[in-house]
Amino acid sequence: MTRIPRPAASCLGLAAVIAVSHARAIYNFSLDVRKRNYARVSTQNCDECSTLEAFYEKNEFAYVLFYERALMGGNKYKEAIVQGWMETCAALRWSRIACGMVDMLDDRAYAEKYIEPKTAPAHIIVHKGQVVPLSNEQVKELMSKPGDKDHMLAHLKDVFKEHVTWGTLTLSTKVSHKDSLDSLVKQHRLVIAGFIGEEPRLADVFQAAVQEQMLGNGRGDRVAGDPNSGRKGKGGNPKVGKDKWRIAFVAVQGKGIGAHFGSPSAPATDRSIAAFVDGKLLPGAKFMKADAKPGDPDVIKAIEKIVRNGIDKCGGMDEKSGPMANMVRGDEL
């Protein structure tokens, strides 16, 4: 039987650690929550809980699951949906998409706003507090493989494809071969690369820092130069900008890849953070400590400096088409 972890033990009535729920972005939760990328959404007060309203307030893109833990044991279909949702959320850690889990045993009223409770488990996609409606075709396609992580990720990508690029939502990616990085450097005007050598755990450090730096600053992700900036497409909606003008953040794992591209690194390491503009490595790379952990302030500051330098070399940011300029509210779709 799949065991559904509770996001915080304190939510089970341990009064010693109860705290008032308040609005928090996903990157302001504990590291455990950030890694699995889902928090408990509840009216109850606990140190790792958030009310639904507070969760929406600080997380522009949300993927919310409604389930009932008492109904999980022995029902493989329901367990598969919940497990697939959790795996999908974990795959989206360090992105703009924050996941919230609602247990209907405690918060049935939340579920009743959106679904018929007897259909649970069920999940909804939310942008700026508004449910993003799905077409009949999208619902049918999603239900063709219930609980399949890759299928659920493809579903999310399909829902947003007309309004924002997938790279804008995921914020960063990871590669493990120099050819993959070479392709990104050619495809994007500005690339911020975190060379992590043979330390795979540093990918989380780099990507977590990108998430906190980008979402915390509220900065756009597109540099100047897009000829479609501000133009309208079908239906009068802004055109989705091409990925070439989106800042690409990439964790690069592999021995000697940084040196291959000319990035300096500390003695006997492959660890550095560097920027590429129009295919060329910029001077001023920053080193990454071997013992850095997700949330490391030095890594966040290093990325900030590297990004600012890269933006300056690109002539600034695109003011007309920031990362959310192409999104419309759910009730307008």
Compute, in degrees rounded to 10, the torsion defined by CA atoms 169, 217, 123, 9: 130
167-313: CATH class: alpha beta
Question: According to the model, what pLDDT value does residue 19 have?
Answer: 37
Q: Residue 257 — left, alpha, or beta (φ > 0 → left; ψ -120 to 50 → alpha)?
A: alpha
Q: In which residue ranges of the chain is CATH 3.40.30.10 found? A: 9-160, 167-313
Encode the chain (333 residues) as per-residue pLDDT tens digits: 344 444 433 333 322 233 344 688 999 999 999 999 999 999 988 888 999 999 999 999 999 999 998 665 668 889 999 999 999 999 999 999 999 999 999 999 999 999 999 899 999 999 999 999 999 999 999 999 999 999 999 999 999 988 889 999 999 999 999 999 999 999 999 999 999 999 999 999 999 999 999 999 887 899 988 776 555 555 555 555 578 999 999 999 999 998 888 877 655 568 999 999 999 999 999 999 999 999 999 999 999 999 999 999 999 998 755 444 443 334 443
What pLDDT score was predicted for residue 320? 59
Q: Are strands 280-281 and 61-67 parallel, antiparallel or unpaired?
A: unpaired
Tokens of 295: 């949330």
Please name the CATH architecture into which domain 9-160 falls.
3-Layer(aba) Sandwich (3.40)
Question: Residue 262: its pLDDT value, please?
Answer: 85
In the prediction, which pLDDT does 230 show?
Answer: 54
pLDDT at 89: 98
Q: How far apart are the first and last CA of the chain?
A: 39
Q: What pTM was estimated for this model as a whole?
A: 0.85
Q: How many CA atoms lie within 13 A of 114 on its CB side?
A: 24
Compute φ and ψ for 223, nearest 5 degrees: -90, 165
Which pLDDT score is estimated for 32? 95
pLDDT at position 45 = 84
pLDDT value at position 311? 96
Task: Give pLDDT, residue 264.
Answer: 72
